Amino acid sequence: ASNTEATKRGALIVVEGLDRAGKSTQVARLAEALEARSIKFPERTTAIGKMIDSYLAQERELDDRAIHLLFSANRWECARSIIEEVESGRNVVCDRYAFSGIAYSCSKGLDYEWCRNPDIGLPLPDLTVFLDLDAEAAAARGGYGEERYEKLEFQARVRQAFHLVAQDVSRHGGQWSTVDAGASLDRVTEEIMEKVRPCLDEIRSRGSKIG
């Protein structure tokens, strides 16, 4: 592709965090600000997504490795459309991604590298914004405790696992930014925009391919 075509690509921004960190709220705001398509993982409407949904609702038991692979497969079934969207010039904002996959499965005791492998080759985000909140503050927010992983002790382990993931992403040259999700809604939105703007400027000036 020529340079002019390449400079038209959109950004892929991922928002990560613990359960109840405020991801959905902030993804909606960010998607509006960037006129982006938003996607949420798990994408519960597909056949695979329905299996994941019943697992999370604790209606079905699955082996830890089997559910890990389903979460990954659920991203792979959306990968093509993410790439097409970004290459067509549209921004995409993603509520959770492969980093959740690693952090939650690792927290059950699965090997880090094993957890990472099935997601290798998925489109890499231009930026991951991690909404950081301690497990106690997350638990104090509405609607907590119904789904499978919404337990204080487990969430505290997931938070630690996300710190490992952050180091790993940075080591591999990825962009990872942590935002204090304990602040007010508007303050969190502002902080996210402060991280996202330079990322968009860089993509516009470099016009690199998604990959």
Site residues (CB under 6 A) for ligand T5A?
Answer: 17, 19-25, 41-42, 56, 71, 96, 100-101, 104, 141-142, 147, 149, 184-185, 188
- To ligand T5A, the closest distance from the beta carbon of 122 in angstroms equals 11
- Which residue, 74 or 116, is less far from Na ion as judged by CB? 74
Residue nearest Na ion, CB atom distance: 24
Nearer to ligand T5A, 19 or 85 (CB): 19
Q: Which does 96 bind (CB under 5 to 8 A by kind): ligand T5A, Na ion, none?
A: ligand T5A
Q: How far is the CB of 104 from Na ion (least distance, A)?
A: 14
112 contacts which partner out of Na ion, ligand T5A, none, CB within 5 to 8 A by kind? none
Taking the CA atoms of 112, 114, 115 and 117 in sequence, report the sign of the dihedral they define: positive
89 burial (CB, 10 Å; 0-12 / 13-18 / 19+) is: exposed
With respect to ligand T5A, which residue has the nearer C-beta, 127 or 138?
138
Closer of 10 and 101 to ligand T5A (Cβ): 101
Q: Shortest distance, CB of residue 23 to Na ion, whole angstroms? A: 5
Alpha carbon distance 10, 92 (integer Å): 7
φ, ψ dihedrals at 62, nearest 5°: -140, 150
Residue 148 CB partners (closer than 8 Å, separation 6+): 55, 56, 57, 58
Q: Which is nearer to ligand T5A, 109 or 142 (CB)?
A: 142
For residue 178, the minimal CB distance to ligand T5A (Å) is: 15
Shortest separation between residue 20's beta carbon and Na ion, angstroms? 8
Exposure of 80 by Cβ count < 10 A (0-12 exposed, 13-18 middle, 19+ buried)? exposed
Binding site for Na ion (CB under 5 A): 24
